[in-house]
Amino acid sequence: MMQQLDINSDEFKAELIKTTKFTDKVCESQGWVYSSNEDVNEGVTLGLARHRLLFGKRFCPCFMVEPDESKPGKFKSSDDRICPCKPAIEKELPEKGICHCQIFCTAEHREEQIREKEAKALAKEELKIVEAEEI
Amino acid sequence: MHTLLATDNINSENLEMLLLAREKGEAEFILVDVRENSEYAMGHLKGIDMLKPTSTFQSWAENLLDELKDKTVIFTCRTGSRSGQVQNIFRSNGHKRVINHSGGIVSYRGEIEK
């Protein structure tokens, strides 16, 4: 059975620092930015660190990792998704502006996310005011 | 509600509706989260019945398939990829009522618990 990792261990914390440096570098080299959703970014970074420790590679945390039967002792994931994955580079970012995991996006997409978030917050506030007036 | 449970994939909006219906006793299904323990602890859909991480898939898959063979099962994860893979494996091993929550928790706007 696959071991469960202690995310509070020193080993995991050290890997998390390395993984954050890695994702910073991915942004820099690809010309991407982080999504505006910090919870999502944190979840993906934790998942990448976890996979690095368990499988030796930063497999995409959104996909299941399985033993590679053709290479004993090695692992693989669907579409061979190792971060930064080919589908993100070739298709997801150019076409949708954001990767499947939703950690990396284009600057334009991030701006759009922020605008949407602000519009939603504003609509919520307005709804509160209308409800208060009705009472 | 029965139509929603007869599909292969369900979006977040419809899953939210199904969970509300289940609370009222109008729908019956088992909701299984296949993410890891740490992801679950950071937040999960209100209404999850079981946590079955894919990292330990080999240890639980056969028993769960047998345990839930006569139930409608909805698998969920972060974006719908891992749950889709688990759905495919269950389906190819004979489970007839297994649904994938497409979009996963990142697309869910219903109640999230920690």
Q: Is the pLDDT of residue A73 over 70?
A: yes
Please indicate whether, in this complex, the C-beta atoms of A100 and B106 are within 8 angstroms of each other.
no
Region A36-44: mean pLDDT is: 92
Q: Is position B1 within any domain? A: no
Model confidence band, residue A8 (pLDDT cutoffs 50, 70, 90): confident
Rounded mean pLDDT, A18-45:
96
B39 contact A CB<8A? yes
**Which ipTM score applies to this complex?**
0.77
| Residue of chain A whose alpha carbon sits nearest to that of B104 | A62
Report residue A111 as tokens: 């701006």
- Domain of residue B47 covers 9-113
Count residue pairs from A and B with Cβ separation < 8 A.
Answer: 53
CB contact under 8 A, B56 and A62: no
Residue B106 clears pLDDT 80, i.e. is over it: yes
CA angle A64, A69, A71 (to 5 degrees): 105
Residue B2 lies in a domain: no
Chain position carrying tokens 């979840």 = A43
Where helices occur in chain A by DSSP H, the ranges are 10-30, 38-55, 86-87, 107-134
Residue B70 inside a domain? The answer is yes
Q: Evaluate whether A105 touches A113 at the Cβ level (below 8 Å).
A: yes
**B4 located within any domain:** no
Check A63 against B81: CB less than 8 A apart: yes
Residue B3 lies in a domain: no
- What are the Cα distances from residue A102, in Å, to A97, A120, B62, B85? 10, 19, 32, 19
- Domain membership flag for residue B51: yes
Cβ atoms A59, A75 nearer than 8 A: yes
Q: Do A2 and B55 touch (CB under 8 A)?
A: yes
Average pLDDT of span A105-129:
92
Contact (CB, 8 A) for B76 and B32: yes
Q: Do A78 and B81 touch (CB under 8 A)?
A: yes
pLDDT score of B98: 97
B108's tokens: 């869910």
Q: Which helix (H) or strand (E) holds A67?
A: strand A65-67
Mean pLDDT of A32-50: 94
- B68 or A7: whose pLDDT is higher? B68
Closest CA to B68 of B51, B90, B40, B83: B90
The whole-angstrom separation of Cα B99 and Cα B86 is 10
- Is A4 close to B37, i.e. CB distance below 8 A? yes
Question: How many structural domains is chain B composed of?
Answer: 1
- Using a CB–CB cut-off of 8 Å, the residues of A that contact B are 1-2, 4-5, 7, 37, 39-40, 42-43, 46-47, 50, 54, 61-66, 78, 100-102
Mutate to test the interface with A, among B40, B51, B55 (most CBs of A within 10 A): B55
Is pTM beyond 0.90? Reply is no
Task: Tell me what pLDDT residue B40 has.
Answer: 94
Express each pLDDT in B23-75 by its tens digit. 999 999 999 999 998 899 989 999 999 999 998 898 999 999 999 999 999 99
Residue B15 maps to which CATH number? 3.40.250.10
Contacts of B79 in chain A (CB under 8 A): 62, 100-102
CB B86 within 8 A of CB B57: yes
Give the distance from residue A63's alpha carbon to the nearest chain B alpha carbon, in angstroms: 5
In a domain, B62, yes or no: yes
pLDDT, average across residues A75-93: 93
Helix axes of B57-67 and B81-92: crossing angle, nearest 10 degrees: 60
From A69-78, B75-84, B93-102, the region with the lowest mean pLDDT: A69-78
Substitution target from B35, B36, B39, B107 for chain A, most A beta carbons within 10 A: B36
pLDDT of residue B51: 97
Evaluate whether residue B27 is within a structural domain.
yes
Phi, psi of A130 (to 5 degrees): -60, -45
One-letter-per-residue 3-state SS of B36-54 = CHHHHHHCEECCCCEECCH
